[in-house]
Amino acid sequence: MKEEEVKRCQIQEWYPRFKPHSIKTLIHELPESFIQYLLQDSGPFLLPLSISGEDALPRRKINNLDSDSIIPSDSESESNSDSDSDSESPTAPSFPDLESEIKSSIETLGGAIFPKLNWSAPKDAAWISTTGTLRCTSFADICLLLRSSDSAVHDLCHAFDSCSDKSTSRPSKFFIALRKWYPSLRPEMEFRCFVRLRRLVGISQREVTIFYPALIEKKLDLELSIGEFFEVNVKSEFELEDYVFDVYVTKDGRVKVIDFNPWGGFTLPLMFSWEELEENFRNGGEGGVEFRIVESRCGVRPGLKSAVPYDYLDMSPGSGWDQFLRGADEEFRRQAKSPEAGG
């Protein structure tokens, strides 16, 4: 994988060209001061002070407290009360221009968005939001997710780590993409598509931890819709020869581009292995594009419960996750062949 391949997959690079076929998105360049705020790992966790002058959230300072320090002793309480008036609280950061721009964009997009940096959405930090999702209605919501996300750290510090020609640790500019929030999106209708030398060689269900029976009867129609969309709208428009792209299929059958990723490296092949995808390519696509979905409860893949972003796990040969997924693949094939697999 080359640096140029990774750079081409940044949302600010591909979105303008695929805007008619994607989710409505507004993109803002981030100032370096905000990047340094996201990377700050010392001192209390402060959310920015709102441009209104009020706290961004009722509790915008999050200290690292152990169980002994949560409830102070009587003597500590007395000494603390005497010294509180003399001590000054850390000053909350403020980014009024950026906040004003983002506030306006959120309103334009209907009042709710989900954020994404150059490559990654902070999916690993959804647990910290009040809704358990990436839905954001304010600048403070966005900051809370980004400050809590390992995905964001990957974009900011490690985006080129898998590149054979790595010359830098970070891009020269960072952007935040505000993507319109659709509460009715169905996770079973998102798919990952694999392209080798501009030929579609595989399609995988994106959410591999759940069995969706309805996908079985829709499989052929979905394959035809995604294949046609690739031939007409993607094949001659995206600059790279080898890449991966994610799509969402709407209820009325329209296909929307969600994301682009490099071929290999930190991109997960989901229901394939990279060796299988290469073999599909070498076989010249005999029998058409291979489309894999979870076709029974026995075919469900284990969830990857990790603080590391889903698409940035160490998948190199011999790594722990590599061995884990190879074992899962073997078990998946064994169960699929068993007489009970269709139950």
Are residues 252 and 274 both part of a single domain? Answer: yes
Are residues 63 and 159 both part of a single domain? Answer: yes
| Three-state SS at 320 | helix
Backbone angles phi, psi at 285, to 5 degrees: 70, 30
Are residues 176 and 215 both part of a single domain? Answer: no
According to DSSP, the β-strands at 255-262 and 190-196 are unpaired
Residue at which a domain ends, from 167, 183, 199: 183
Residue at which a domain ends, from 152, 183, 214: 183
pLDDT in tens, 210-239: 999 999 999 999 999 999 999 999 999 999
Are residues 191 and 177 both part of a single domain? Answer: no
Owning domain of residue 215: 187-342
Are residues 20 and 167 both part of a single domain? Answer: yes
pLDDT in tens, 61-86: 444 433 343 344 454 444 454 445 44
> What is residue 265's predicted lDDT score, i.e. its pLDDT?
83
Find the mean pLDDT for residues 183-210. Answer: 95
The closest of 222, 265, 228, 226 to 246, measured between CA atoms, is 226
Are residues 104 and 231 both part of a single domain? Answer: no
What is the percent of the chain where pLDDT is above 90?
63
Residue at which a domain ends, from 163, 183, 203: 183
> What is residue 119's predicted lDDT score, i.e. its pLDDT?
96
* Count of structural domains, the chain: 2
pLDDT in tens, 94-133: 999 999 999 999 999 999 999 999 999 999 999 999 899 9
pLDDT in tens, 300-318: 876 543 334 444 444 455 4
- Retrieve residue 332's tokens: 């998946």
Give the confidence band of 11 by pLDDT, cuts at 50, 70, 90.
very high
> What is residue 127's predicted lDDT score, i.e. its pLDDT?
93
Are residues 148 and 27 both part of a single domain? Answer: yes
> What is residue 23's predicted lDDT score, i.e. its pLDDT?
96
Are residues 18 and 76 both part of a single domain? Answer: yes
What is the percent of the chain where pLDDT is above 70?
75
pLDDT in tens, 259-316: 999 999 889 999 999 999 999 898 876 667 999 999 988 878 765 433 344 444 444 5
> What is residue 97's predicted lDDT score, i.e. its pLDDT?
96
| Three-state SS at 114 | strand
Environment class of residue 120 by beta-carbon count within 10 Å: exposed (0-12), middle (13-18) or buried (19+)?
buried
> What is residue 60's predicted lDDT score, i.e. its pLDDT?
40
Environment class of residue 165 by beta-carbon count within 10 Å: exposed (0-12), middle (13-18) or buried (19+)?
exposed
Are residues 161 and 204 both part of a single domain? Answer: no
More confident residue, 336 or 99: 99
- Angle value at C-alpha 272, between 268 and 276, nearest 5 degrees: 120
Find the mean pLDDT for residues 195-216. Answer: 95
User: What's the mean pLDDT when you consider all of the chain?
Assistant: 83
More confident residue, 19 or 325: 19
Give the confidence band of 43 by pLDDT, cuts at 50, 70, 90.
low
According to DSSP, the β-strands at 290-292 and 199-205 are parallel
Are residues 37 and 155 both part of a single domain? Answer: yes
According to DSSP, the β-strands at 255-262 and 199-205 are unpaired
Are residues 213 and 288 both part of a single domain? Answer: yes
pLDDT in tens, 181-190: 999 999 999 9
Are residues 238 and 105 both part of a single domain? Answer: no
